Amino acid sequence: MTTGKFIFKATLIIAFFSLMSKVLGLARDMVIAHQVGTSMSYDCYQIAIKMPNMLFTIVSGALATVIVPVFVEYASQGKKGEAWKVFNTVMVIISLFYLGASLIGILGAPLLVKFLGPSYQSEWPLIVDLLRILMPLMVFTGLASLFTGLLNANNTFGLPAFSTSVNNILIIIFALTLGAFYDIQGLALGTVLAAVGMALIQLPALLKSGFRLSLNIDFKHPGVRQVYYLALPSVLGIAINQAPILINMVLGTWLPVGSLSALSYADRLNQFPLGLFGMALSTAVFPTLSARAASRDRDGVADILSKSLKAVALITVPASVGLMVLSKPIVSLAFERGAFNEVSAEITSIAVFFYAIGLLGQAGVFLLTRVFYSLQDTRTPVKIAVVAVLLNLVMSLILINPLQLGGLALASSLYSLANMALLVFFLGKKLPGLYRSGWLKFSLAVLVSAGLMAAVSYLANSALAGWFPGIAGLIIQVGLAGIAGIVVYLAAVLLLANREVRYFWRVARGSRTGIR
């Protein structure tokens, strides 16, 4: 099988299960929105869950990424046993770290809450309770992330992608049961239990791949040292990339009640297309990029990356346009019922609009940082992230007064786009072949096509607004306006970027002219 066809098939597998997960994730958010809306209690939940989520993202995000190239390198040399020994040692160490961090968080919750929610003094007792319930979350999400990375390294994509669906199903069940009886504390407990399920469901496949848990860990193993050597700057880089989330949360506590909840719902909606294709492609292509980089085939890395970036742009740019133009009816259709009222829909749609601007940047950063990691360069993304975060902080402080929560969302989007632009610039110095692919013509083609899509979707949405009442009316309004825009976009991009579209179609059909 050609490399291009393999990547395409892996992307389809991940995209299928990602679609399932995103649909279930939307159902999860609909259930939560119906129960708590944009209430103070859900704002408190958002504050409490940030600490375990950020620690998980920083540590496991770095390890799950850098361990794949190391694992692939050992396995490609016929040292599969050594590869598993490295993974086992890393897993034991990281589990102990998470357990210790959870204990510190539980004991230190009264101090942490003063930093996380400085303007929520009256709600500090509730946030402390939620923080103590949610701190163990990082243990199980961390293990699930490591399991996913290693299964992907063994070219197993379906089950790891499906595990997030299991997580969402369990949260829905616990939200309707524990949440109904124990309010927001019940939802917090259900979130932790769902993460346990997400980790456990991957264990059989991991064992089948050859993993066996052993407490005989080797701190001095060259592979373990290599993982931590690569991970330490990556941890710093991811920590810096988490700064915008922390900035949004702390500044958001000074905005009206419900702002943090609205930002969370909006971010989830934007994650739908991002996770479905942008991150699915990045995940599928990463082991191949690592293998090419390990064999010193930089022209091959540049070729795969260039085509992957174009694929990401072809999908995420129209997704951004659709979310921006149809933000209000989409939010109303998804959430406006129960405790989620018209005011909730209005403020959430504002956040959706501004978050959507940065969709391409988020998908691009996710892919580009992994290319640096596959080249075993974890320092350059850190330096770039520092510059981008400083931009985010400045823009957040400037935009929060005139645009309120919209300013925080816009600052996050500008941060993602700036981060992506800088990554492309510096990666081009390592991979000169990256710039040999007609990028200017392609970019203009996508932008013109997206502009036509925006105009058609906007006119269709305006013409259909109010014609049909209720949920059915919103479905018709969003559906027809969205379809009209997509048809125009596809027609325009086929006309203006025919070469790229034909290439992706050949890969989809398994043509032998694709990437090898």
Window from 129-138, 212-221, 353-362, 496-505 with minimum mean pLDDT: 496-505
Tokens, residue 273: 């297309």
Exposed, middle or buried by CB within 10 Å (0-12, 13-18, 19+), for 204? exposed
**What's the angle, vertex CA 204, arms to CA 200 and CA 208, rounded to 5?**
150
| In the predicted structure, residue 111 carries a pLDDT above the cut 80 | yes
| Overall average pLDDT of the 264-293 stretch | 76
Once rounded to an integer, what is the mean pLDDT over residues 2-6?
Answer: 57
377: which 2 tokens?
């360069």
CB-side neighbour CA atoms (13 Å) of 162: 11
Q: Which residue intervals of 259-403 are DSSP H helices?
A: 259-273, 279-294, 298-325, 327-335, 342-356, 359-374, 379-403
Please say if the pLDDT value at position 162 is more than 80. Answer: yes
Confidence (pLDDT) at 514: 42
Of the candidates 196, 237, 185, 510, the residue with the CA atom closest to the CA atom of residue 370:
237
Q: What is the dihedral of CA 220, 225, 226, 230, to 10 degrees?
A: 170
- What does the mean pLDDT of the chain come to? 87
- Say yes or no to pLDDT of 4 above 60: no
CA–CA separation, 22 vs 438, rounded Å?
Answer: 33
- In 3D, which of 88, 63, 74, 71 has the Cα closest to residue 216? 88
The torsion angles phi and psi of 257, rounded to 5 degrees, stand at: -55, 135
Most confident of 10-24, 207-221, 245-259: 245-259
Estimate to the nearest angstrom the gap between the alpha carbon of 121 and the chain centroid: 31
3-state SS record for 455-466 = HHHHHHHHHHCC
d(CA 79, CA 226): 15
Query: Number of H helices and number of E strands within the chain?
Result: 20, 0
Q: Higher confidence at residue 435 or residue 248? A: 248
Angle 98-102-107 (CA atoms, 0-180°, nearest 5)? 150
Tens-place pLDDT, residues 381-424? 888 988 999 999 999 999 999 999 999 999 999 999 999 999 99
* Per-residue model confidence as pLDDT tens digits over 500-512: 777 666 655 544 3
pLDDT digits (tens, 9 = 90+) for 183-223: 999 999 999 999 999 999 999 988 888 888 877 788 888 88
Query: By the 8 A CB rule, do 51 and 112 touch?
Result: yes
Q: Per-residue pLDDT tens for 163-185? A: 999 999 999 999 999 998 889 99
Q: Which residue has the tokens 């299991």?
A: 166
End-to-end CA distance of the chain: 9
When mean pLDDT is compared over 1-15, 121-135, 282-296, the highest value belongs to: 121-135
Identify the band that residue 284 occupies on the pLDDT scale cut at 50, 70 and 90. Answer: low
CB within 8 Å of 402: residues ≥ 6 apart = none
Question: Residue 106: is its pLDDT beyond 80?
Answer: yes
What pLDDT shows up at residue 498? 74
- Cβ neighbours of 179 (radius 10 Å): 24
